[in-house]
Structure 1
Amino acid sequence: MYTFKKCFAPDGSELPGVWEFITPPGDGPSVEELAWEAFGRLSVPGFTLAHNPPTQAVIFVDTWWWAEGPSEGEVRGSSAGGVVAIAEPSRLEVDPGDGSGVVDCPFTVRESDVCSHVYDRASVNGAARTGDGHAAHPARARLVYTVRFENNGAPLTLPGLPETLESEWRETPVRVVEVQAVVR
């Protein structure tokens, strides 16, 4: 609702008036609506799924995984009427692409052995291909964050608000080979 404010100087002379927009009590979005809007303002950082060995994995040898690009810090969305959504890194989910299922790992953004998988078969005739045309397992990963809310700096807890934020799956082909040795 708009109101016109007219003011007078101490000597009684009229000062220029001002139009103001005033939100009447009970109008406007609820705190829950503001929280959902704040959640929508969160943006997951982009990343690349990295692995070691970097050019090809070897069966029965650990392959390490990590997300290259994001930081280990929290992600804060912009304020929606004083309500802010904050996403804290929780975990990295990796699907090695060999049919073994998703591996839950700590949130890992640097090369490390904290997130690993052992392939038990080479990649042959797979649907995925590396840049040089070799058959590969279609590995993929996503980042998972735990979400909390603040209202003007104070913790905000309301039932039904999202508790996690997940990135889109990022894919990378992983060539997996067998190594054979001849012992004489």
Structure 2
Amino acid sequence: GSADLRQVTTSLQTRKRRVYDITNVLDGINLIEKQSANKIKWIARTPISSFLWKNQEKFQREMQNLKLVEDTLDTLIKSCAQQLFAITDNLENSAMAYVTHKDISQLGAFQEQTVIVVKAPEESKLEIPAPTEDSIQVHLIGEKGPIMALTSEISSGDAASEEKSRCFVTLEEGRIKTATLHTEATECTATG
């Protein structure tokens, strides 16, 4: 029932701070007690061996499920990438590889939404930090040329709102606020 935290840190090959954080949590919920600065004792009613065994089985099942999901997603991503390359590599198809505003506005998923279209050079990066309550930020980073971003408010089909949303406009013409971030690469941040 006792353990030396220095040995635990060594056997788990992790940082000392991480082990101490975990022991502080276990101590706080009365599963262990600290005997000294580096020594703890298991004091929970359930023996630690049965506690760990049940969680180990659950952990293994969860890991298998996550691995299956990951493999499935990897397969789908690979398939989509292959299909996309097959379409765009064909010179006959490349002339027709575009989507119109009308195509987008007819999709139900985009109704009453703001759509942003980005045309960027290869190896550009798109980052979307966690949104706040009042805004979403989008960071576009490109080193090999200009980035073009357009926006449109897709309406639900009524005449008044449809008049405003028949085309794409630049971010500056729309309601999205933009700012240039000055770094080594060219960056643009859009907040909406």
Higher strand share: 1
* TM class by smaller structure: under 0.3
Higher helix share: 2
- TM-score, scaled relative to structure 2: 0.20
Q: Which has the higher contact order (CA 8 A, sep 6+)?
A: 1
